[in-house]
Amino acid sequence: MTSTDGLRLLPFRGLRYAPDRVSSLTAVTSPPYDVVVRPDGVRELETSDPYNIVRLILPHTADPTARHRQAAETLRRWRDEGILTPDPEPALYVYEQRGGDTLQRGLIGALRLDGPVLPHEDVIPEVVEDRAALMGAAAANFEPLLLSYRGQGTANGATAVIERTVQHAPLLATTTEDGFAHRLWAVTDPAELAAIDADLAQRQALIADGHHRWATYQRLHEQRPEAGPDSPWASGLVLLVDTARYPLQVRAIHRVLPHLPPDKALADVAGAFRVSRLPDDPDAALEALARTPGTAFVLSGGPDSFHLLDRPDPGLLDRAIRTDRPEAWRRLDATVLHSVLLDEVWRIPDHPSDIGYLHHTGAAVAQAARHGGTAVLMRATSEETVRQLAQQGVTMPRKSTSFGPKPATGLVLRTLDDEGS
């Protein structure tokens, strides 16, 4: 690839919390907006510090139409009061996450939207509309999405810059409540920036986490036809990780069907799948799922209800799953779930009020029990399978896999007006 074919990661003036104006960096950070799904989770973050970033990424008001305006006004006030302050010059940011045996390092910057970025999932239009309204009103990218690329797996190019940079004192360091330690450095040296640019010009990226935010960046740019290729709106905030050097963790995303009672879910699948009762233990249920060959799921109606579904009827699969896709796509658990169970067997509408997506097993089981619905516990798909399908232009069912660790929200923001560009 030539330099115009590859990735262009642009420096920007990061907007960061002033340490002396908040109780701690830990108290103002948050998981990504789509992980903070429970109202009590939002309230917990809001009460941890009056300046917690959740007030920007998930604003809530008595009048829902005022949410985005409130976030924009909150951002403007925090900037005016010096709670959030811009760095003195544009930079790319080296970002490190460390927890247990996991070490992840990557680069945060403003990625040009016209580069080779491979999505692997579809998006929900309503979510993109909401995120676009929020980011457009605030003229800001609040949190980086997570992209992976395959470098050479050695300390050269962009990776060499990262590993030189982490030998110096960081701009900030904090440990979040999940036990992960986070550190951030700014790269401003022209030679180092040039080395990163030359390396990334040979790469393509896979969206690991953040399809809706990437689609939002594109929507915001499309809404501004006057914005040229050098406009801040022609790029979006991302974290780029070389997974040949720092492999990502890959986990499943579970489904919660709040309007499908577990008894009906099990009755409807009789004859379509083999159904086996499992011990009343979520960990044991997931272990049984991991050991099961072929297509398989666990259904749960609560902490004392787990059933394994496997051995689907081949005739049903042939009838329900489209044949114009690669065999690897047709065999995906998520494909079978959406094409067979959700569309054909249960006839669940593809709408946020009818299908919830949760990363944590316990939360999915508890939410199903609370609503009298059904949780569908899933297995993860490997990064290599995801990448191979994406390179063929084949998208997977949304929320097929969760890559991580995800970047903490609130360590560095990007504004799209003159002050922060």
CA distance 317 to 294: 13
Tally of domains within the chain: 2
Q: Is pLDDT larger for residue 420 or for residue 128? A: 128
Q: Is pLDDT larger for residue 47 or for residue 216? A: 216
pLDDT at 419: 43
Tell whether 287 and 151 lie within a shared domain: no
Q: Which domain holds residue 140?
A: 9-249+404-415
pLDDT at 212: 93
For residues 70-83, give the mean pLDDT: 96
Which residues, in sequence order, are CB contacts of 420 under 8 Å at separation 6+? 12, 13, 15, 86, 140, 413, 414
Tell whether 201 and 122 lie within a shared domain: yes
Give the pair of three-digit tokens for residue 41: 């989770």
pLDDT digits (tens, 9 = 90+) for 279-289: 999 999 999 99
pLDDT at 266: 97
Residue 385 lies in a domain: no
Tell whether 349 and 214 lie within a shared domain: no
pLDDT digits (tens, 9 = 90+) for 321-369: 999 999 999 999 999 999 999 999 999 998 889 999 998 899 999 999 9
Look at residue 31 and tell me whether its pLDDT is greater than 60.
Answer: yes
Tell whether 235 and 284 lie within a shared domain: no
CATH value at residue 20: 3.90.1530.10
Tell whether 222 and 83 lie within a shared domain: yes
What's the mean per-residue pLDDT of the chain? Answer: 91
For residues 16-32, give the mean pLDDT: 91
Tell whether 240 and 133 lie within a shared domain: yes
Check if the beta carbon of residue 254 is closer than 8 Å to that of residue 357: yes
pLDDT at 318: 94
* Residue of 259, 188, 151 lying closest to 10 (CA atoms): 188
Q: Which range among 165-169, 196-200, 249-253, 345-349 shows the weakest confidence by mean pLDDT?
A: 249-253
Q: pLDDT-based confidence at 402, cuts 50/70/90?
A: confident
Report how far apart, in Å, the C-alpha atoms of 8 and of each of 65, 156, 369 are. 36, 18, 46
Tell whether 214 and 296 lie within a shared domain: no
Look at residue 42 and tell me whether its pLDDT is greater than 60.
Answer: no
Q: pLDDT-based confidence at 228, cuts 50/70/90?
A: confident
Look at residue 127 and tell me whether its pLDDT is greater than 50.
Answer: yes
| Helix axes 211-222 and 125-138, enclosed angle (nearest 10) | 60
DSSP states of 333-345 as a string? Answer: HHHHIIIIIIIII
pLDDT at 177: 84
CA distance 59 to 134: 9
Residue 125 lies in a domain: yes
Share of residues in the chain with pLDDT > 90 (%): 73
- pTM equals 0.83
Residue 1 lies in a domain: no
Residue 399 lies in a domain: no
Helix or strand holding residue 74 (H, E)? helix 67-80
Q: Is pLDDT larger for residue 396 or for residue 368? A: 368
Residue 26 lies in a domain: yes
Tell whether 245 and 266 lie within a shared domain: no
Residue 72: helix, strand or coil by DSSP? helix
pLDDT at 41: 54
For residues 388-406, give the mean pLDDT: 85
Look at residue 372 and tell me whether its pLDDT is greater than 50.
Answer: yes
Residue 384 lies in a domain: no
117-118 and 205-209 strand pairing: parallel
Tell whether 182 and 280 lie within a shared domain: no
Beta-strand runs (E) in 23-71: none
pLDDT at 420: 44
Tell whether 219 and 267 lie within a shared domain: no
pLDDT at 257: 98
Residue 397 lies in a domain: no
Residue 288 lies in a domain: yes
pLDDT digits (tens, 9 = 90+) for 1-17: 333 589 999 999 999 99
For residues 252-279, give the mean pLDDT: 96
pLDDT at 45: 62
For residues 379-396, give the mean pLDDT: 87
- What is the phi/psi pair of residue 289, to 5°? -65, -45
Check if the beta carbon of residue 13 is closer than 8 Å to that of residue 84: no
- What is the phi/psi pair of residue 415, to 5°? -100, 155
Tell whether 16 and 161 lie within a shared domain: yes
Check if the beta carbon of residue 152 is closer than 8 Å to that of residue 187: no
Tell whether 235 and 117 lie within a shared domain: yes
